[in-house]
Amino acid sequence: MFDAHVHMGYFPRWGKTEPYYYSPRRIFGALSRAGVDEFIVSSTNAIWDVEGTSMHAEAREMKRWAGQRAHIFFWVSLRYLERDPCLVRLPEGLYEGVKLHGGESPWLQKPEQLMRVLSLARERAFPVQIHTGKSDNGIGEYLPYCRRFPELHIDLAHGLPHADVAKALAELPHVYVDTAFVSPQTVQAWLDAGVDERRIMFGSDIPAPQRHAKIGLSAYVRRESQMFSSQHILSDNARRFLGQKPPYV
């Protein structure tokens, strides 16, 4: 099984007043217990680690635990980009993609910088995971950028607003969505609307669910993944998204 949307780093947790640290070991342990073989992970520490130093150390630690099973995306913030405009300070070979979150950095108000990150990602053949939201940072706002980069694999994470998914995926064959906080009913509605199943990736977004409820991380991942039976959604699509060569269908 492949979980295409996971985080490590500091994050709010239900019942705690201070942000809680989700270490590589904790996240890797939860995923392993849930039966996840491989995963795409990015660090929420991007919110404060404007130099990236702590994220690199954390990424290395994740690699020590998980090795090739971890595919680490570097979460680029606007403040980080100011310090490293061409992303040349990223350690060689550590990262396999880029994560962008419009709630953390107002990318849509900085089109020039957003274009720059996407161009750099294209140069490096880095797939990109972009957070989408219901009322702002929605799929529609990112579509013009997706259209400009047809070579880039883009995960419009959460697929919000859900009603926009079918049209966007039909138009753009390089765009994917993940199932983080998406109900299986919604995924079924996408499929009924003609969405290509090969562009939907299973994603749990752990540890985010612990922000809203007292729930075990591995129990959550197991429960969510059991709602899907498709090998494409549970595994193959994420491999294609990463640019891996078959064997997969």
CB of 28 to Zn ion, least distance (A): 17
Stretch that binds Zn ion, among 23-31, 104-112, 121-129, 197-205 (CB under 5 A): 197-205
Q: Which is nearer to Zn ion, 108 or 170 (CB)?
A: 108
Stretch that binds Zn ion, among 13-21, 24-32, 114-122, 203-211 (CB under 5 A): 203-211
Stretch that binds Zn ion, among 13-21, 64-72, 140-148, 201-209 (CB under 5 A): 201-209
Q: Which residues contact residue 200 at a Cβ distance below 8 angstroms, ignoring those fewer than 6 apart?
A: 176, 177, 178, 179, 187, 190, 191, 232, 233, 237
Should residue 205 be labelled a site residue for Zn ion when binding is judged by CB under 5 A? yes
Greatest CA separation found in the chain?
46
Stretch that binds Zn ion, among 10-18, 148-156, 198-206, 230-238 (CB under 5 A): 198-206
| Distance from the Cα of residue 24 to its chain's centroid | 16
Q: Which is nearer to Zn ion, 106 or 194 (CB)?
A: 106
CB of 128 to Zn ion, least distance (A): 13
CB of 101 to Zn ion, least distance (A): 7
Cβ contact 43:7 at 8 Å: yes
Cβ contact 202:181 at 8 Å: no
Distance CA 98, CA 118 (A): 9
Cβ contact 60:236 at 8 Å: no
Closest Cα partner for 203 from 167, 165, 159? 159
| Residue whose beta carbon is closest to Zn ion | 205
Should residue 155 be labelled a site residue for Zn ion when binding is judged by CB under 5 A? no
CB of 158 to Zn ion, least distance (A): 8
Distance CA 35, CA 38 (A): 9
Q: Which is nearer to Zn ion, 52 or 102 (CB)?
A: 102
**Across-strand partners of 3?**
39
Q: Which is nearer to Zn ion, 52 or 209 (CB)?
A: 209
Should residue 236 be labelled a site residue for Zn ion when binding is judged by CB under 5 A? no
Block residue for tokens 């995971």: 129
CB of 7 to Zn ion, least distance (A): 6
CB of 2 to Zn ion, least distance (A): 16
Q: Which is nearer to Zn ion, 205 or 224 (CB)?
A: 205
Closest Cα partner for 70 from 100, 98, 96? 96
Distance CA 36, CA 55 (A): 23
Q: Which is nearer to Zn ion, 204 or 218 (CB)?
A: 204
Q: Which residues bind Zn ion (CB under 5 A)?
A: 205
